[in-house]
Structure 1
Amino acid sequence: MKIILTQEVSGLGAPGDVVEVKDGYGRNYLLPQGFAITWSKGAEKQVSVIRRAREAREIRDLGHANEIKAQLEGLTKVTLSARAGDGGRLFGSVTPAEVVEAVRAAGGPALDRRRLELSGHIKSLGAHAVRVKLHPEVTARFDLTVVKAK
């Protein structure tokens, strides 16, 4: 089955890539999850739009990735306030989108939430390590402090 990826799928490709996958994998996982669309001549024209959107938010090269890594690791305090109970357990968990907003509020660069690698689900107050895969060769790390919302 020939498909066009709309999101990054590890081990398969990036948005805008035209790939050949087994029928069941495409029909039962990639298409229903919205990770891909079926290939057709009309859909082939959408590839350029998908690639342009990807290039707009993609890190340009290794040097650019190292600059963003330096900015992230230079952040002294990334704090996120969340609703929590008396025992320090959160009502729900911290989402990658909330982490991206906290980085932006702390004066850091704009990040793509899909590049974040959280150490499990963040469901408690305190310090948590967050990794960001900026480039295949560059991974940044910073500490996120979750505090109780007032």
Structure 2
Amino acid sequence: MNQRSSVSRSNDLAQPGCGGKWRLPTVILALALGAFGMALFGGGVWLMALGGSWYYGLTGAGCVATAALLWRQRRGALHLFGVIWGLTVIWALWEVGLNWWGLVPRLVAMTVILLLILILSPALRRAPRTAA
């Protein structure tokens, strides 16, 4: 083992995402987001079967994937949910325009989830690098 790999390994262990005080809140958020995502996905599939919007099914699947990344404390959870949130904003604006009362129920829950993930972002680590 060379010196560089031992330095890299010690830096990986020093990252805040390796457990500690952040692990429990991250797991709780992952479980809650997973349940939320499953409900969205199930209702979304039913809505798609009835000829309705695909938004809920796709967003539910994205929330479940984000929950899995949160469970593993991966930074990809923040990136994936950021994309979901951005697409949710676009969908909400497309659906109701700038009607404030129409936007509130479509954006509040997703914005709160994004803020919680941002708060927990110190616990999220990058995926481990593989040797080339």
**What TM-score, normalized by structure 2, do the two folds share?**
0.27
Higher relative contact order (CA 8 A, sep 6+): 2
* More strand, by proportion: 1
* More helix, by proportion: 2
